[in-house]
A and B are shown apart, each in its own frame.
Chain A
């Protein structure tokens, strides 16, 4: 997977001109729908629409749950990436395809799967309900679980790629100098893959923020508890298209801001 870098492409010298046409088209496919959204927006009503109770509650819930889910992704997904990249686990290809499942599955399917696991009729959910009186669906915890489920692969994949690209030379040297695996991991591995971790974190956070399908299937939709911005957009579209568009723009702005502010310069080269 290691590719030798071609410094010429940096300055655009060696890039065939013809690539510009599909490149422009690709960019248009991504950018033009957003333009459509902006043209549809009712700018006069925008401020009023954005400070409504339901909008503020949804924005707050979205940011909070996405932050918690992203933290969970780092705490749990980081070690998973390390094990996949360095731990030589048995049946690595199978493990990796399982980890990638949430990327391939429609999020609604993920939501249903969660429901059949920790919902009242699911085998874990039944036990939780019987022994502790805990029911997970319809709670904010369910939103976090749904977001973590769909976002984990983004972090794991970026980080695993970074770990593999970085190689283990420095750790090997550290070991010869008497550093324990823990020390070498903390002082060498983690700083080395920080850019990869950062870009994985941004991707995971963005994915959490946009999560819709798994949340609606698993967590339900109630203002302040489970109705995140995407769910509110979907609901408002029924009666008030202006409100739906305004909220969509908020999502666009938040997503762009998160990516622009946090995307580290060094991460462009990595996965």
Chain B
């Protein structure tokens, strides 16, 4: 019994190993010139937009493959500070970019390429009829926000201060996607997320605009990293993002102009 199970595990891991091995070598083999890889670390909220831009970039630059690593900005900043090899960093807040510039790891001053504002997300149909930011403070509304330690939470606190409306959230999540998922499942009546999150969630949530949102917009800075293995390409990618093509894609996803 035991031996057979062990053998099965062994066979499975061997399969896995070979699968990984062949997967890794397949992509760059077609190009005659030395294949080049551009590694971009980007905030999770940029996933859809940057994937599209990356595909276009690969088409425009034959022989180049763009590798993305999406995660929370502060995680990525920590990875860069701890020596992760990468060419470009696109963060979802100035504070996380500052971690990297403070460590003197950017090749040039970061450029703001987009802005994001908060929006109220409600389950489809908006069962609690939320129309304003003040509605979120109603006692029978279960509202979920980001914790003040993360950018979306910092923005939310700023709005609370500006409007004088104190919210009593039932949960302060550690990232914006967790807020979104609590709204999607219907366990929260409302959540404060970015406009782009509401857009990417499709019809699983409903967005409610509120004018105070503009008082706390979040900057998205991008920078080429100092030890970038593909420095030239990195600069070109940065130009793509800040240029017309990139701006159009970002606008489609719901980002505001810088």
Task: Give A contacts to B, CB under 8 Å.
Answer: 115-116, 119-121, 135, 137-138, 216-217, 219-223, 226-227, 231, 234-241
Contacts and interface: CB of A to CB of B under 8 A. Distances in A.
A188 B171 CA distance: 48
Interface stretch (B100-108, B142-150, B244-252): B142-150
A198 to B, nearest CB: 27
Nearest to A122: B185
B149 A220 contact: no
A138 B147 CA distance: 14
29 contacts: A115-B187, A116-B185, A119-B186, A120-B186, A120-B187, A121-B186, A138-B142, A138-B171, A138-B187, A216-B174, A216-B178, A219-B171, A220-B170, A220-B182, A221-B173, A222-B170, A223-B172, A227-B172, A231-B174, A235-B147, A235-B149, A235-B150, A237-B78, A238-B72, A238-B147, A238-B149, A238-B150, A239-B149, A241-B78
Contacts of A138: 142, 170-171, 187
A221 B185 contact: no
B169 interface: yes
Contact of A120 (B144, B147, B178, B185): B185
Interface of B: 72, 74, 78, 142, 144, 147, 149-150, 169-174, 178, 181-182, 185-187
Contacts of A219: 171
B74 A115 contact: no
Contacts of A216: 173-174, 178
B126 to A, nearest CB: 15
Nearest to B181: A217
A156 B75 CA distance: 37
Given A120-B187, A221-B171, A239-B150, 16 more contacts: A119-B186, A120-B186, A121-B187, A135-B187, A138-B142, A138-B170, A138-B187, A219-B171, A220-B172, A222-B172, A237-B74, A237-B78, A238-B74, A238-B149, A239-B74, A239-B149
Contacts of B171: 138, 219-222, 226
B151 to A, nearest CB: 9
Contacts of A239: 74, 149-150
A155 B182 CA distance: 31
Given A138-B142, A239-B74, A222 B169 contact: yes
A222 B147 CA distance: 9
Contacts of B149: 235-236, 238-240
A-B pairs with the 3 shortest C-beta distances?
Answer: A220-B171, A138-B170, A239-B149
A115 B144 CA distance: 15
A207 B86 CA distance: 36
Nearest to A223: B172
Contacts of B181: 217
A221 B175 CA distance: 11
Nearest to A136: B187
A241 B149 CA distance: 12
Contacts of A226: 171
B65 to A, nearest CB: 30
A121 B147 contact: no
A137 B144 CA distance: 12
Contacts of A240: 149
